[in-house]
Amino acid sequence: MSALTDLTIAEARAGLAAKRFSARELAAAHVEAMERAKDLNAYITPTPDKAMEMAARSDARIAAGQAGALEGIPLAIKDLFCTEGTRTTAASRILDGFVPPYESTVTSQLWRAGAVMLGKTNLDEFAMGSSNMTSAFGGAKNPWKRRGDARDLVPGGSSGGSAAAVAARIAMGATATDTGGSIRQPAAFCGVVGIKPTYGRCSRWGIVAFASSLDQAGPIARDVRDTAIMLGAMAGHDPKDSTSVPRAVPDYEAALGRGVKGLRFGIPREYRLDGMPAEIARLWEQGIAWLREAGAEPVEISLPHTKYALPTYYIVAPAEASSNLARYDGVRFGTRVAGGSIEELYENTRGAGFGAEVRRRILIGTYVLSAGYYDAYYLKAQKVRALIARDFDEAYAKCDVVLTPTAPSAAFAMGEKMDDPVSMYLNDVFTVTVNLAGLPGISLPAGLSSDGLPLGLQLIGRAFDEETLFAASHVLERAAGFSARPGA
């Protein structure tokens, strides 16, 4: 039998049901693997004791015939989800000592389904970044390395710790969040699958807020089926989040077998960027061929406002962040740096507690919202955003799903792209439109770069049509037969 940590969630579910191994054995195998892989820095806070306790309760429920949909499955939780009694950092110094007295809706649904928590994973500070390098705890490392090159690579971001943990087999799956690409880009960099569902699918309640009109939770796992299983447990209406949508959650796993015969998939011409690496362009062509061979029909589409998506994002996201992060005041939770007056206390606490990228974004957000600039920046951006969403509406008159690369490159080395903030922002060029329009998007590993690193393809769906994404990505997954592993 292969190692327990190599199993997919679906395989582990079958093994637990057949009593081939116990939830405690499964948890223990992961706890040991986490200990050996500490150098990856994928976890900010491992919770091995909690994992073993939860696994023991899972075994009791399995024995009593009361197993939930994720019974006994060991998962990692991005350290942006509040977990009752377990410190939650958002990878920021400013949340020092914050132990939430409540549980986020998404994680409480996972525990209700029987999942086991292995720990809290690393991320860019407040999810602001594409490399993990802005984490106050140091970035997680990508378990993959370039062939013949010992340098450590970034796992992407912001959900880099989650993607690295899943790729390194120190979690079967992980929660993540995506504001501009933070699930899909790290999934692509680490050779795993990640889906950002439609805005409103998952409750945002209890997730540390970054940009509320863009943030959405989703799963990262090693194959498409596992993400479908996880999303089924994570999604659903929550009265505590007024933007969560009261729609029934479909059986995502059942959608996997639908196939793509007759499906029209759009190829947006604006995504053919000048200077796109040849191997990314080739992978995209390969993806088109795979879908075509499975009976789907490619359609050339236009998303004319694509080039304005990133600048729009860098108004909307910092503006919302500057407002959301106003709560870190050194009074109610987290760290405090004393001052002679309350204003000084605020300024000292926030000056010392926030890292450079977070400070930068709060200042941009404050600037674009300040008196006299609101119309020129925020209102303008929300208008361009409406045009970006309209581009997709028009495209979906001609096609059912859109196929693109996930990221413009493979994983880069730690420390690269750090000189100029804008060059880091360009990582999200293919993913950010999806957040602005509120649509679902999935990334799956589809091939290797010439130096042996995973590359991802992205499928974008209509609002609330995650099922088509699962069906089409399952077809791509089987065609790609991606079986490479990090460190092999």
Partner 1 sequence: MSLDKATVARVATLARIKVPDADLERMAGELQGIMSWIEQLSEVDTKDVAPMSSVVGHVLSQRPDAVTDGGRADAVTSCAPERVQIGDGAFFVVPKVIE
377 to 436, contacts with partner 1 by CB under 8 A?
377, 379-387, 389, 420-422
Min. distance of Cβ 463 from partner 1 in angstroms?
5
Three-state SS for 333-344 is CCCCCCCCCHHH
The single residue of 22, 58, 108, 182 carrying the catalytic annotation is 182
Distance CA 411, CA 185 (A): 9
Min. distance of Cβ 325 from partner 1 in angstroms?
9
Min. distance of Cβ 229 from partner 1 in angstroms?
24
The single residue of 78, 120, 141, 145 carrying the catalytic annotation is 78
Q: Which is nearer to partner 1, 286 or 382 (CB)?
A: 382
Q: Exactly one of 57, 276, 367, 413 binds partner 1 (CB under 8 A); which one?
A: 367
Cβ of 41: how many Cβ atoms within 10 Å? 21
Q: Which is nearer to partner 1, 56 or 337 (CB)?
A: 337
Sign of CA dihedral 398, 435, 464, 111: positive
Residues in 86-105 that interact with partner 1 by CB under 8 A: 97-102
In the block, residue with structure tokens 């065609």: 479
**12-20, 123-131, 277-285, 372-380 -> range binding partner 1 (CB under 8 A):** 372-380
Q: Active site includes 158?
A: yes
User: Do the Cβ atoms of 449 and 468 come closer than 8 Å?
Assistant: no
Residues in 13-42 that interact with partner 1 by CB under 8 A: none
Min. distance of Cβ 177 from partner 1 in angstroms?
15
Sign of CA dihedral 463, 466, 467, 472: positive
What is the contact mask toward partner 1 in residues 169 to 208, using x (rule: CB under 8 A)?
-----------------------------xxx--------
Beta-strand runs (E) in 382-471: 401-405, 441-448, 454-461
Q: Exactly one of 46, 72, 438, 441 binds partner 1 (CB under 8 A); which one?
A: 438
Min. distance of Cβ 358 from partner 1 in angstroms?
9
**134-142, 165-173, 365-373, 446-454 -> range binding partner 1 (CB under 8 A):** 365-373
Task: Kindly report the length of the chain.
Answer: 488
Binding footprint of partner 1, residue count (CB under 8 A): 73
Distance CA 430, CA 306 (A): 9
Q: Output the CA angle 243-160-358, nearest 5 degrees.
A: 65
Min. distance of Cβ 243 from partner 1 in angstroms?
7
Three-state SS for 96-115 is CCCCCCCCCHHHHHHHHCCC
Q: What is the β-pairing status of strands 264-268 and 116-121? A: unpaired
Residues in 461-480 that interact with partner 1 by CB under 8 A: 463-464
To which H or E segment does residue 282 belong? helix 278-293
Distance CA 272, CA 429 (A): 11
User: Radius of gyration over alpha carbons of the chain, in Å?
Assistant: 21
Residues in 151-170 that interact with partner 1 by CB under 8 A: none
Q: What is the β-pairing status of strands 441-448 and 454-461? A: antiparallel
Distance CA 380, CA 374 (A): 8
User: Do the Cβ atoms of 116 and 55 come closer than 8 Å?
Assistant: yes
Residues in 324-363 that interact with partner 1 by CB under 8 A: 326, 329-336, 339-348, 350-352, 354, 359-360, 362-363
Residues in 239-278 that interact with partner 1 by CB under 8 A: 239, 242-243, 245-246
Bridge partners of residue 301, in order along the sequence: 268
Q: Active site includes 307?
A: no
Q: Active site includes 244?
A: no
**137-145, 146-154, 236-244, 397-405 -> range binding partner 1 (CB under 8 A):** 236-244
What is the contact mask toward partner 1 in residues 99 to 138, using x (rule: CB under 8 A)?
xxxx------------------------------------
Query: Which residues are known to be catalytic?
Result: 78, 158, 182
